[in-house]
């Protein structure tokens, strides 16, 4: 998931308003004329014709009439996509509907804090939130969040767009709870993929040197063994290109909350710690949490979980080894946001854990990783997998930031906020928003001519999202019953292993024990209903390690032969599927 440290707040005009936010004496506005102006001057290109755009905007104007003059407050993390919404689409929404929007931009952690405050206090802090679908297990269990499936046929029916087209949202399964109901509306989407310097990997001299050293072709690594070989090759054998020191790996390791996201964003599933099954593995997911009949029953191997199993310990140890052996020396003291811009500086050969949200910042003119003609010197490709991984398992992380409505928000404000959420994701505006932020949410936009035209400059982003492979990348799923409480446990335990204060095994043992304690508290409180935790009694870990699936016993050989594939052949295989 994307994390940032900037805090930008769009200040709205202060107005006198009543409990529902309605402003008196709203001046007459030419809503139809405003819509035509925005369509002509801003909302191009679009997958809709101008006539279809006009009709869609006319519906928003009509549906907004009862809320005209209201000011609503919404919040999201600071991200290029959300900046476009806050600075441009919020103005367009006001011009077309008469509803003013204060769209605040804050750190992602602060978004979750505000969300938790409103859930726990019952006071209306914001009228709508964009938060990651990682919280779907939380939202679907606690009862604080509106199930949009119910809202769209109930209190929100009159303000639900006939052109919303939920089936067009590529991440709608991510925001669907175990009860089959949709709880959030996708607003922006991104994946965590493998990033590499295509120009270096295509250099005949470098290719020959690698094959002579390792006995197989340099290419996109299919497994972690190949990734490790490539990391060692560039850091220890190539060492310099054009007089500049280079490194075969990039990561970050500072004791900071972002270190937890480095792991909860599917690192264990990439190693193969969980079970087969898309989206998250059943019964054991990538957090190592076992679920039986929708109830979490444990994280520890002794309870049937895998958070401290051999595959999880292997995943942590490999992260530490690669960080210390193949990344720049300063990487260990960096946070997520500090490490993010480093590959664009031109010294990194590959990165196993790279968010596609960085795409917009990696294609700017003048960067060391961009050619003179504007095409990238780099590419993105599928993530390699560890030795415990097998076909049918989740392969990496993909998430959608999605609109979330709370029951504590007054109905009129919730209805007005729902209009805004649909507006900024409507087909009239979504393709232009995708071109600005490069966080696509609609299949129709991904397959548009505009995206085909942009594809050569985006390093594989379009090809990935058009490929059938994308379904193996998913967010945190419904096995995690309380994301905020459980996520905060990871970074401190990982940091202890990075510093050498504890071994990888001890760190994962501590994490599993702490997760089980949280699950036990949730079980005692009984607030999550029929899908709340119900812990298994501990038993000899050997029992569970002897059962099929996760947790998996330790492999005799955790470094099998490295395997690679030529990037151009990979792309051709996607296009032929």
What's the pLDDT score for residue 577? 54
pLDDT over 70 (residue 120)? yes
What's the pLDDT tens digit per position in 281-331?
Answer: 999 999 999 999 999 999 999 999 999 999 999 999 999 999 999 999 999
Using DSSP's 3-state secondary structure scheme, residue 22 falls into strand
pLDDT over 90 (residue 168)? yes
What's the pLDDT score for residue 17? 37
Compute, in degrees rounded to 10, the torsion defined by CA atoms 520, 525, 526, 528: -80
* Residue 184 and residue 139 in contact, taking contact as beta carbons nearer than 8 Å: yes
* Residue 368 and residue 205 in contact, taking contact as beta carbons nearer than 8 Å: no
User: How many Å apart are CA 243 and CA 206, to the nearest integer?
Assistant: 15
Measured in whole angstroms, the distance separating CA 348 from the mean position of its chain's CA atoms is 23
- DSSP characters over 296-360: EEESSGGGT--TTSHHHHHHHHHHHHHHHHHS-GGGGG--HHHHTTGGGGT-BSEEEEEEGGGGG
What's the pLDDT score for residue 26? 55
User: How many Å apart are CA 177 and CA 174, to the nearest integer?
Assistant: 8
What's the pLDDT score for residue 108? 85
What's the pLDDT tens digit per position in 8-53?
Answer: 333 333 333 334 444 444 568 999 999 999 999 999 999 999 999 9
pLDDT over 80 (residue 162)? yes
User: How many Å apart are CA 271 and CA 313, to the nearest integer?
Assistant: 10
Q: What is the mean pLDDT of residues 532-541?
A: 97
Q: Helix, strand, coil % (nearest 5) of the chain?
A: 45, 15, 40
* Residue 171 and residue 279 in contact, taking contact as beta carbons nearer than 8 Å: no
Phi-psi region of 403 (alpha: psi -120 to 50; beta: other; left: phi over 0): beta
What is the pLDDT of the chain when averaged over all its residues? 93
What's the pLDDT score for residue 41? 98
Consecutive H or E run containing 122: none
User: How many Å apart are CA 56 and CA 44, to the nearest integer?
Assistant: 14
Using DSSP's 3-state secondary structure scheme, residue 484 falls into helix
Give the confidence band of 58 by pLDDT, cuts at 50, 70, 90: very high
- DSSP characters over 380-428: EEPPPB-TT--TTS--EEEEEEEEE-BTTS-HHHHHHHHHHHHHTTSHH
| Percentage with pLDDT > 90 across the chain | 89
What's the pLDDT tens digit per position in 217-246?
Answer: 999 999 999 999 999 999 999 999 999 999
What's the pLDDT score for residue 570? 87
Using DSSP's 3-state secondary structure scheme, residue 567 falls into helix
Q: Would you call 374 exposed, middle or buried from its count of C-beta atoms within 10 A (0-12, 13-18, 19+)? A: exposed
Compute, in degrees rounded to 10, the torsion defined by CA atoms 316, 517, 137, 429: -60
Token pair recorded at residue 461: 């982003």
What's the pLDDT score for residue 12? 35
More confident residue, 228 or 336: 228
User: How many Å apart are CA 273 and CA 386, to the nearest integer?
Assistant: 9
User: How many Å apart are CA 275 and CA 551, to the nearest integer?
Assistant: 8
| Percentage with pLDDT > 70 across the chain | 95
229 closest CA partner among 241, 240, 216, 242:
216
Give the confidence band of 251 by pLDDT, cuts at 50, 70, 90: very high
More confident residue, 575 or 425: 425
Please give the DSSP secondary-structure letter assigned to residue 274.
S
Q: List, in order, residues 6 or more apart from 41 with CB less than 8 Å away.
A: none
What's the pLDDT score for residue 5? 32
User: How many Å apart are CA 441 and CA 462, to the nearest integer?
Assistant: 12
User: How many Å apart are CA 28 and CA 121, to the nearest integer?
Assistant: 38
More confident residue, 360 or 421: 421
Using DSSP's 3-state secondary structure scheme, residue 153 falls into coil
Q: What is the mean pLDDT of residues 144-149?
A: 97
* Residue 371 and residue 451 in contact, taking contact as beta carbons nearer than 8 Å: no
Q: List, in order, residues 6 or more apart from 49 with CB less than 8 Å away.
A: none
Q: What is the mean pLDDT of residues 361-377?
A: 94
What's the pLDDT score for residue 335? 93
Please give the DSSP secondary-structure letter assigned to residue 67.
G
CA distances, 248 to each of 197, 235, 352, 388, 526 (Å): 10, 5, 10, 23, 49
User: How many Å apart are CA 281 and CA 273, to the nearest integer?
Assistant: 10
Q: What is the mean pLDDT of residues 258-277?
A: 94
């Amino acid at each position: 998931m994307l994390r940032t440290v900037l805090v930008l707040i769009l200040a709205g005009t202060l107005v006198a308003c009543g409990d529902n936010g309605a402003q008196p004496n709203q001046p007459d506005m030419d809503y139809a004329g405003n819509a035509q102006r925005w369509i002509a001057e801003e909302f191009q290109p679009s997958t809709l014709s101008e006539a279809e755009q006009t009709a869609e905007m006319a519906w928003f104007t009509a549906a907004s009439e009862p809320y005209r003059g209201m000011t609503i407050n919404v919040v999201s993390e600071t991200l290029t996509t959300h900046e476009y919404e806050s600075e441009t689409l919020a103005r367009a929404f006001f011009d077309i509907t008469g509803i003013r929007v204060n769209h605040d931009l804050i750190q992602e952690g602060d978004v979750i804090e505000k969300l938790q405050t409103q859930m726990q206090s019952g006071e209306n802090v914001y009228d709508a939130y964009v938060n990651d679908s990682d919280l779907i297990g939380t939202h679907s269990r606690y009862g604080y969040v509106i199930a949009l499936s119910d809202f769209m046929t109930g209190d929100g029916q009159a303000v639900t767009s006939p052109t919303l087209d939920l089936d067009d949202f590529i991440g709608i399964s991510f925001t669907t709870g175990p009860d089959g109901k949709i709880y959030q509306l996708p607003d922006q989407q991104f994946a965590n993929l493998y990033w590499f310097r295509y120009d270096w990997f295509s250099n005949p001299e470098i290719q020959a040197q690698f094959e002579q050293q390792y006995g197989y072709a340099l290419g996109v690594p299919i497994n972690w063994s190949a990734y490790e070989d490539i990391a060692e090759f560039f850091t220890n054998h190539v060492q310099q290109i054009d007089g500049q020191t280079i490194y075969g790996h990039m990561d970050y390791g500072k004791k900071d909350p972002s270190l937890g996201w480095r792991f909860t964003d599917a690192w264990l599933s990439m190693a193969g710690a969980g079970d087969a099954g898309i989206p998250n593995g059943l019964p054991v997911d990538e957090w190592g949490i076992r679920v039986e009949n929708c109830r979490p029953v444990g994280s520890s191997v002794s309870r049937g979980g895998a958070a401290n199993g051999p595959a999880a310990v292997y995943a942590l140890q490999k992260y530490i080894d690669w960080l210390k052996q193949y990344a720049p020396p300063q990487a260990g003291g960096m946070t997520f946001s500090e490490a993010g811009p480093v590959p664009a500086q031109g010294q990194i050969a590959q990165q196993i854990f790279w968010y596609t949200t960085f795409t917009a910042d990696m294609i700017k003119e003048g960067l060391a990783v961009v050619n003179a003609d504007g095409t990238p010197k780099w590419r993105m490709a599928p993530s390699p997998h560890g030795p415990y991984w097998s076909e049918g398992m989740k392969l990496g992380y993909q998430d959608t930031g999605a609109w979330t409505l709370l029951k504590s928000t007054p109905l009129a404000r919730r209805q007005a906020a729902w209009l805004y959420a649909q507006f900024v994701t409507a087909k009239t505006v979504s393709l232009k928003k995708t071109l600005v932020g490069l966080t696509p949410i609609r299949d129709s936009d991904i397959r548009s001519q505009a995206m085909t035209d942009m594809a050569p400059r985006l390093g594989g982003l379009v090809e990935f999202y058009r490929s059938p492979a994308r379904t193996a990348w998913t967010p945190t799923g419904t096995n995690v019953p309380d994301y905020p409480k459980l996520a905060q446990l990871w970074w401190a335990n990982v940091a202890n292993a990075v510093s050498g204060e504890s071994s990888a095994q001890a760190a994962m043992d501590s994490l599993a024990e702490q997760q089980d304690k949280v699950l036990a508290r949730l079980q005692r409180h009984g607030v999550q209903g029929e899908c709340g935790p119900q812990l298994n009694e501990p038993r000899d870990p050997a029992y569970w390690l002897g059962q099929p699936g996760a947790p998996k016993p330790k492999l005799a050989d955790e470094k099998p032969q490295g395997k690679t594939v030529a990037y151009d052949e990979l792309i051709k295989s996607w296009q032929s599927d």
